[in-house]
Amino acid sequence: MPSRSAIRYTYQDYLGIPEDTSRRYEIVGGELFMTPTPRFRHQEVVTSLASILRALAREGELGKVVVGPITVRLHDELVLEPDIVFVRADRLHIVDPEGIIDGPPDLVVEVLSPSNRSYDRNIKRKHYLDNGVPELWIVDADDRTVEVWRAGADQGVIQREALPWEVGGQRLEIRLEEVFSP
């Protein structure tokens, strides 16, 4: 679990945090959370999935896929750094000139690490879905599964073979074997 702070933080405080490539900083409900940088396997899965998503998005001219850390500001006391985000082409206006995503992306992907499993699966999941993110994928590289959450759903759907992705009127499918192969 990431370490917590005792002070109430806002987006302005976040902007004042010195860059630190050894940690990620997020604000959830006014609390500052700090997590260590991800491990090799985590980044391997992020890179693989992002490459697949990026190719599908380009081919269909659907929007942009970006690998984190990328700042997503959902409101003044909720600033997160997901592993992967997708923003539809018709919503690219939420990416400000500084490169910060100011509003909910259309898809957020979090890849679990030993240090963040509970934080991503519980705390961040709830905040993403309660604050306008329509779809969240929680990737478990150890179990080779993806838990798909959609806004308004009471529970996620665990995908083990293929990952359906509906965007821009298209239904796409990602073979999980491609995501998790070493």
61, 64, 95, 136, 165 from 90: Cα distances, Å: 10, 10, 11, 19, 17
The per-residue pLDDT for 55 is 97
133 within 8 A of 149, measured Cβ to Cβ: no
Burial annotation 65-96 (CB, 10 A radius, 16+ → b, else e) = bbbbbbbbbbeebbbbbbbbbbbbeebeebbe
> Global pTM?
0.92
13 domain residue, yes or no: no
Contacts of 97 (CB under 8 A, 6+ apart): none
- The pair phi, psi for residue 82, each rounded to 5°, is -70, 165
Which domain does 92 fall in, by range?
Answer: 38-180
Indicate whether 71 belongs to any domain.
yes
Which residues are 31's β-sheet partners? Answer: 28
Q: Is residue 44 part of a domain?
A: yes
Residue 171 domain flag: yes
Contacts of 28 (CB under 8 A, 6+ apart): 77, 78, 80, 123, 124, 127
In a domain, 23, yes or no: no
The rounded mean pLDDT for the chain is 92
Nearest in space to 62 (alpha carbons), one of 52, 72, 71: 52
Segment 172-182 shows an average pLDDT of: 93
pLDDT for residue 23: 84
Map residue 57 onto helix, strand or coil.
Answer: helix
Is residue 100 in a domain?
yes
pLDDT in tens, 112-121: 988 888 888 9
Is residue 14 assigned to a domain? no
Q: Does residue 5 belong to any structural domain of this protein?
A: no
Domain tally for the chain? 1
What CATH number is attached to the domain comprising 156? 3.90.1570.10
